[in-house]
Amino acid sequence: MSEMLLNIVLADDDEDDRMLFSEAIDEIQIRTKLSLFNHGQELMDYLNLPNVVLPSLIFLDLNMPIKNGQQCLIEIRSNPRLKDLCVAIYSTSSSEKDIEDTFLNGANIYVNKPNNFGKLREVVEKVLQLNWQYHTSNLNKETFLFRI
């Protein structure tokens, strides 16, 4: 049986963060296709393309120019075609308000950006291995904030 290919998207305005994330994905033993976007508007333009293959999982940075992660999240959840996508907030912010707002706006998980590569790889791998159906059906404040 062939392994499923996970279609992953990362929207992050920080070039170093995009590069590290990409390297972490390369080192994980999960077949993935990664698409990178520099800001939220670029991501939304892509998701709204007529024949786009929708991603299995979106990693969304909160603080981006043009359109931030919170705005993208609201737009995704209010679009009938996109509303069921899995969205992981991927941010350096550990502000209670950001966590609360993204939870209320319908993100599936909140991941704090790790400060070293080993941790990043571990976090990304664990998030990709989550049973999303189970995770989202049992979503509460405790399971929302992903800690490693």
Nearest to 69 by CA among 30, 37, 114, 33: 37
Q: Is residue 1 part of a domain?
A: no
Q: Is residue 83 part of a domain?
A: yes
The model's confidence at residue 129, banded by pLDDT at 50, 70 and 90, is: confident
Mean pLDDT of the chain: 89
Per the structure, the count of domains in the chain is 1
**Residue 23: which CATH number?**
3.40.50.2300
> What mean pLDDT comes out for the span 8-19?
96
pLDDT category, 1, cuts 50, 70, 90?
very low
User: pLDDT by residue (tens digit) across 75-86?
Assistant: 999 999 999 999
| Residue 27 belongs to domain spanning | 6-146
